[in-house]
Structure 1
């Protein structure tokens, strides 16, 4: 089994060494690692070329567009491995855990289309690593098992927590939507709706870094809120139309995420908040019907007190959570 690792690189000179040091030991002679170059203004590109000089498995590609999605698409087009892994260059992996998982995959007669694992949140301000447990100590196979991992309202759509069979991605035209936010929500919705052979396994290896200065996830704009709401709505509709137990469970998860995005309204400049509130005026069409009791309760609260007040309450709860996690002073 040949592995292709796709790493977009953009202004991460302080984080790229940790990422590379964790990924490089897993590469065998037939594997490949793509460093997809954006228009960095720091030393990221120079670092990339130094790594390429030392490691024959590394290939450097320049993006033919802009943004994370375009970088990943460039990697998909160039990859030749049996399995693809996406790694963000400001994150890192648990090397031994991924090596063990790859050994398991190489022992299989037939590779699954998607391999899903749990993952770690790594808080920079606390130097703390937290395991996000959804799968736990078990092995689950099939899309029908997805509802069993969705009970805690944790993220399930992160692209980097999975490995993907390249031929499956190519067959179904599974490229990333470019020039938008919430690309992972859109991508994983389309991956699941393509009916993959799914294996969920107890092998957490990915460390998602939280609290990095300069991260795109720290930047709140009206376009981010608008695009996120639109993609969530589109994904929920697609999953509801599919009308299976697993797709409805995923739709419920996205309905909860839709509600959480109300908090972003309060992080916008005051002159943009009225326009942002209007994005949620049709909230009943998005979050109802639902089987999620929390979503049902929030929908009732919104009906009684309105979108603006609900947004303020959620923003206050978000602030307290970040304070507890020491992500804000």
Structure 2
């Protein structure tokens, strides 16, 4: 029998986290769903763990493939999915027992909803206060237009461009897949899908637990591939030009944030042969989006952007913001 929902879990070298992740996905209040595990060529025991879990649970399907990266693994999962609705869970994260039910409720509540969103909680391995019990006492539901939802996402107001902590009608991925061999693949795709949705539902229920793995940010490095962020920022900003001014400002703000993240990584790799060229490209693009913020952005947003710039660029930030 065809399942209603498909949970897609890309897996790569997460032998220490996978069982906990899958256990949280298996133990859901919702029952009509399949779990699709895509082993992206793991070199540790992740593949074997996934196979054992498939034998244990009838709704788990495990597929093994050559390593192709996160986008390729997710795309593989989308193609294998049988459900009418799709949600993504990263293999080192966990979810609340009500995760699927709360997300799916939005589609039952309004037939025009194409995407359902909940909030997530950052989990720090050695923090004893990783709890959502007090926050989840007062849940609020909002129905948003696609432009409202995209603006909030780009400004990170309650949620961001991450593919997870959301549920989508599968049909949205018919002509949309994750782009491969780029950085920030979610940023490149999710805003496009949001703008194709009829309605987007937001519930402030916290049901996704995002693990902040030690060293994950410190281990990030800059490469030629990192410059793909420039094209991604341009794609999303260009898309916003056909929409309202508020969305254009939000797209500019997100572009600055994404570019600064790569600029920060670049500054740790000053010995790279492409350092000077990459720095100039990133600075020029940051400056371009800053002009939109200084002209059309609110005072509050300008202060927020300046603080981020100042932290990364120091005194140069003031010059860039006041050009």
Taking structure 1 as the reference length, the TM-score comes to 0.79
Show the counterpart of 1:313: 314
User: Pick from 192, 205, 208: which aligns with 2:207?
Assistant: 205
Mapped contact 2:220–2:265 kept (Cα < 8 A): no
Mapped contact 2:146–2:200 kept (Cα < 8 A): yes
Deviations 1:114-173 (A, max 9, x none): 111211111224355387x9x973423322433467666776211102100112322xx1
User: Pick from 286, 291, 295: which aligns with 1:288?
Assistant: 291
Q: Report matched runs for 1:173-188 at 5 Å.
A: 173-188=175-190
Offset of 1:286 from its aligned partner? 3.0
Offset of 1:280 from its aligned partner? 2.0
SS at match of 1:203: strand
Deviations 1:21-58 (A, max 9, x none): 11001276542111101111110000000000011101
User: Pick from 182, 188, 194: which aligns with 1:192?
Assistant: 194
The 2-side partners of 1:157 and 1:72 are apart by: 15
SS at match of 2:314: helix
The 2-side partners of 1:230 and 1:150 are apart by: 16
SS at match of 2:205: coil
Offset of 1:76 from its aligned partner? 0.7
Deviations 1:279-323 (A, max 9, x none): 224233233212154664698899xxxx9x974439xxxxxxxxx
Mapped contact 1:122–1:128 kept (Cα < 8 A): no
The 2-side partners of 1:209 and 1:295 are apart by: 28
The 1-side partners of 2:264 and 2:284 are apart by: 17
Shifted more, 271-280 versus 197-206: the winner is 271-280
Shifted more, 284-293 versus 156-165: the winner is 284-293
The 2-side partners of 1:100 and 1:195 are apart by: 20
Report the RMSD for the aligned CA atoms in angstroms: 3.3
Show the counterpart of 2:7: 5
User: Pick from 152, 157, 168: which aligns with 2:161?
Assistant: 157
Q: CA 1:111–1:102 in 2, change beyond 3 Å: closer, same or farther? A: farther
The question of 1:89 aligning with 2:91 is answered yes
Show the counterpart of 2:124: 123
The question of 1:236 aligning with 2:240 is answered no
Q: CA 1:150–1:9 in 2, change beyond 3 Å: closer, same or farther? A: closer
Show the counterpart of 1:49: 51
Deviations 1:194-217 (A, max 9, x none): 24421112222111111345x588
Mapped contact 2:252–2:292 kept (Cα < 8 A): no
Structure 2 unaligned runs (5+)?
Answer: 316-323
Show the counterpart of 2:281: 279
Q: Report matched runs for 1:9-88 at 5 Å.
A: 9-26=11-28, 30-63=32-65, 66-88=68-90
Show the counterpart of 2:254: 254
Mapped contact 1:93–1:205 kept (Cα < 8 A): yes
The 2-side partners of 1:87 and 1:50 are apart by: 19
Show the counterpart of 1:101: 102
SS at match of 2:9: strand
Structure 1 unaligned runs (5+)?
Answer: 315-329
Taking structure 2 as the reference length, the TM-score comes to 0.80
